[in-house]
Structure 1
Amino acid sequence: MANLATTTYKVTGTREAVNNLWTTFQDMEVDSKDIRLFKLAEHYGIDYEKKQISVRGHIYWAEYEEDEENDYFLLSFETETAWDACNELFFEINRILNDELSISYRCCESGCDLFYTHDEGDFFPEECCVSSYGEPFEDACEDVFDTIEDAIAEWTSKTGIGQGDRSEKEMVDFINSYEYESEETYFYIHPFTFE
């Protein structure tokens, strides 16, 4: 299997367009099973092979919020896909829905070193993602941190090694190249690229 990218989406727009996508998710039973992206493409009549749109992956969680009084409709969902996010699929669905959606997303894929954010609504202010595993860290995980400074503080609190007079960038480089007793242990700080 390919390296897996986890992408969080925040989709807003007109009530009709956001509800169309949410109703489709519900019809495909998002609450009880994964939605395969190729099935979502087929539902909207998208010839993903002809258009060369990647659909290798699935949606594994979704929720919908609305505030009719303020004309605000938000669909949040997460995907797990091969190599990179499948953003082109959602752009094509937006085109089909008359470009009435605003699509924000944050993608994390440590194997390919892909950490980027496209934010049209202040959904993803975090500066970085940390991939870690082994002692003295928790089980393998990827967590987002509000600031790089917070990620550095997490590492220093677990290792007991201070920042000293290193700049933030120097400290990130130091942490990312640090050699632990176990070759399996790691802690990498990945700053997000903002598109």
Structure 2
Amino acid sequence: MANQATTTYKVTGTRKAVNDLWSTLQKMEVNSKNIWLYQLAEHYGIDYETKQISVRGHIYWAEYEEDPNNDYYLLSFETETAWDACNELFEEINHLLWDELSISYRVCECGCEVYYVHDEGDFFPEEVAVSSSGEPFEDACDDIYTTLKDAINDWCEKMHIEQGERTDEEMMNFINEYEYDDDDTYFYIRQFTFE
């Protein structure tokens, strides 16, 4: 597969629509094996080739929560896909499920620096993702930080360097361009774009 995008989805809506998708994922044995997106498209009768909908990837984890007393149904799942999220597929599934789903997602693809959020329910308020490797950092691929300031503070603490008079944006650029003694060491801060 090409550069992989990891996307976290939060899907809410009517009980009927959310349960339809959750039941489908359970029948396909989600959490026991990867659910390939082309198989999901075929299950719903979507001609993804004719519609030019990308299905290059899979769902590798899902969970379902419900609160019938408050008429709240939430399906959470994560995908790994080629280059970018396969959002068009889930929009098409929504149309087939009577347009009764609200689909929120956060996409991280470090190879092409694709970081964006579409949030219809205040699920993804975090501002940045950090990829890091080498001492004094832990190896991380897109660790999520609540604020840019949190990521900056983490770097400053580990590097024993103060932010000084730099603004947060100046400090982010300083960190992203910092030259370490070891070429394999890095700490990159990427801000999410909110759609």
Q: Same fold (TM over 0.5)?
A: yes
Aligned to 1:67: 67
SS in 1 for 2:117: strand
SS in 2 for 1:154: helix
Aligned to 1:48: 48
The aligned amino acid for 1:64 is Y
Measured in 1, the distance between the counterparts of 2:128 and 2:156 equals 16
Measured in 1, the distance between the counterparts of 2:133 and 2:12 equals 35
Superposition map of 1:46-125 within 5 A: 46-125=46-125
Measured in 2, the distance between the counterparts of 1:50 and 1:192 equals 32
- State whether structure 2 residue 171 is matched by structure 1 residue 171: yes
Cα deviation per residue 1:49-87 (whole Å; 9 max; x = unaligned)?
A: 100000000000000000000000000000000000000
Cα deviation per residue 1:70-123 (whole Å; 9 max; x = unaligned)?
A: 000000000000000000000000001110000000000011110000000000
The aligned amino acid for 1:138 is E
TM-score by length of 1: 0.99
Aligned to 1:182: 182
Measured in 1, the distance between the counterparts of 2:142 and 2:60 equals 17
Count residues with an aligned counterpart.
Answer: 195
Q: Is this contact kept in 2: 1:134–1:140, CA < 8 A?
A: no
SS in 2 for 1:38: helix
How far is the alpha carbon of 1:31 from its aligned partner? 2.3
Measured in 1, the distance between the counterparts of 2:150 and 2:121 equals 23
Aligned to 1:142: 142
How far is the alpha carbon of 1:141 from its aligned partner? 2.5
How far is the alpha carbon of 1:139 from its aligned partner? 1.9
Cα deviation per residue 1:121-151 (whole Å; 9 max; x = unaligned)?
A: 0000000101111111012432010000000
Measured in 2, the distance between the counterparts of 1:126 and 1:140 equals 17
Q: Is this contact kept in 2: 1:55–1:86, CA < 8 A?
A: yes
SS in 1 for 2:142: strand
Q: Is this contact kept in 2: 1:130–1:143, CA < 8 A?
A: yes
Measured in 2, the distance between the counterparts of 1:141 and 1:50 equals 35
Q: Which consecutive unaligned segments of at least 5 residues does structure 1 have?
A: none
Cα deviation per residue 1:4-42 (whole Å; 9 max; x = unaligned)?
A: 000000000000000000000000000211100000000
The aligned amino acid for 1:113 is E
TM-score by length of 2: 0.99
The aligned amino acid for 1:17 is A
Aligned to 1:36: 36
The aligned amino acid for 1:161 is I
The aligned amino acid for 2:120 is E
Aligned to 2:10: 10
- State whether structure 2 residue 155 is matched by structure 1 residue 152: no
RMSD value, Cα:
0.6
Q: Which consecutive unaligned segments of at least 5 residues does structure 2 have?
A: none
